[in-house]
Chains A and B, each alone.
Chain A
Amino acid sequence: MKPEIIFRSFGYLTQAAATTVAVSFAGIVFGFMIGALVCAARVSRRPWRVRLGAVYVSVFRGVPLLVQLLFIYYFLAEYGLDVSAIVAAVGALALSSAAYQAEILRGALNAVPRGQGEAATALGFSGLDIWRRVLLPQALRISTPPLISEFILLIKASSLVSVVGIAELTRVSMNIATQTYRPLEAYVGGGLFYLAINLCLAGLGAFAERRLDEAGAR
């Protein structure tokens, strides 16, 4: 074990870590948008929308992420869309994460006491206002800790996009391993970076949860 290999490639790994965070963050943001739509479909009153939302969640949670990623990658190529691998990577992360986020949001909406919506209706709030002022603020607050957990999962899942050639942490660790013939040090280094990122996020999650408990106790 030669730890100096890790120190020497510290800058390289830091850059790669930034890419990992950026790709995952893009995935979580786009995933949130799609997930919100899927969630809206699942709580709507039209049966076909509910069915469609359920199928989306079942497919994107049931098919392994690596298969989804390669499918999107080859799908774009098959139809002559000459886009860079990063689009396939972020797209796959977002589509897959959307299924999980839709379920998180749905759970949070269900956790808002039913009486509150009814009370708002009784007070004469319009449908839009009920969503904007009563349901959404509370649902978003409830869903914050699980969304941060989802972000941690996505950081780990983003290691798979190394397969389509994105220079994120896993890919760069591979490069360091082949350049230095020191795979042990290279992957320990990469792993430590993942661990650091996730510990920070877990801390953020714990902080959010504490704040929520305080807000709930008040």
Chain B
Amino acid sequence: MTVDLFWHYAPSLLSGFGVTVLCWGVGGALGLILGFAIALLRRLRIGPLNWLLRAFIELFRGTPFLVQLFLLYAGGPSIGLRLSATAAGILGLALYASAYFAEIFRGGFAAVPSGQIEAAISVGMRPFDIMMRVMLPGALIAVVPAIVNMLIILSKETVVLSIITVPELMYQVQTMAAETFTAFDAIFAMAVFYWLLVELVSRVGAKVESRVTAFLAHDGAAA
């Protein structure tokens, strides 16, 4: 692949990268919110609702992301859900991620020692205060490593969006490859780029993790 060719395609590659980051960011954020909501609703322990939420989680964790995307993008219009490729991609990412995030948050809540909750009840805290002041601070810290890990996995899943023609980076690279007959070089460059990106994100994630959990090293023995 010559340098000229690369410059010619630079704008489309750049916009592709922008779409990748957009899908990752918005999809991940929506997934986090939805997953948190699911985990909270499950704590209410309302029989049928709980059953429904568990089915949702099992469905989205037990089927391939690609099939979920096809179902949303191609099958959606049959039930009146008409989405553009990018919207379907973001919604798909959010739904897929939310099932995993819901389980992560559930684990986080479970990690709060029951003695702390009992203590909060015994000093007369209201349920809302127990949630805000006792459960959430403990749970949110406990889930940081798992969430960072899931966000990294999600950044790799954005590549799959190219299959339903979301104009993200992989899609633009494949378009370029098809137009210039440079499939091999283009995909190789893509592999190197993603490797560096994921390495970078992992490093940043590890920094964030050690920063957020730094205080645990000091009073971790007490917990």
List the interface of chain A (C-beta within 8 A of B).
Answer: 1, 58-59, 61-68, 70-71, 74-75, 77-78, 155-160, 162-163, 169-170, 173-174, 177, 182-188, 190-191, 194-195, 198-199, 202
Contacts and interface: CB of A to CB of B under 8 A. Distances in A.
B70 A67 contact: no
A170 B187 contact: no
Contact of A59 (B66, B184, B195): B195
Contacts of A74: 183-184, 187
B64 A157 contact: yes
Nearest to A194: B63
Interface residues of B, number: 35
Interface stretch (B73-81, B87-95, B214-222): B73-81
B175 interface: no
Contacts of A65: 156
A61 B162 CA distance: 20
A78 B74 CA distance: 34
Given A74-B184, A198-B62, A66 B159 contact: yes
B63 A195 contact: yes
B188 interface: yes
A162 B160 CA distance: 12
Given A78-B184, A156-B63, A173 B70 contact: yes
B62 A199 contact: yes
Interface string B91-118: 0000000000000000000000000000
A66 B71 CA distance: 19
A162 B202 CA distance: 29
Contact of B62 (A170, A184, A194): A194
Interface of B is mostly: helix
Contacts of B194: 62-64, 67
B195 A63 contact: yes
B50 interface: no
28 contacts: A62-B194, A64-B157, A64-B170, A66-B159, A66-B160, A66-B163, A67-B190, A67-B191, A74-B184, A75-B184, A156-B65, A170-B70, A173-B67, A177-B70, A184-B71, A184-B76, A184-B79, A186-B75, A187-B67, A187-B71, A188-B75, A190-B67, A191-B59, A191-B68, A194-B64, A195-B58, A195-B62, A198-B62
A58 B188 CA distance: 16
Contacts of A59: 195
B199 interface: yes
B198 interface: yes
Contact of B64 (A1, A62, A170): A170
A170 to B, nearest CB: 6
B65 A71 contact: no
B71 A191 contact: yes
B37 to A, nearest CB: 23
Contacts of A184: 71, 74-76, 78-79
Contacts of B195: 58-59, 62-63
Contacts of A155: 64
Contact of B74 (A63, A169, A187): A187
Contacts of B190: 67, 71
Given A62-B194, A66-B160, A159 B75 contact: no
A68 B195 CA distance: 11
Given A67-B170, A163-B163, A177 B74 contact: yes
Contacts of B75: 177, 183-188
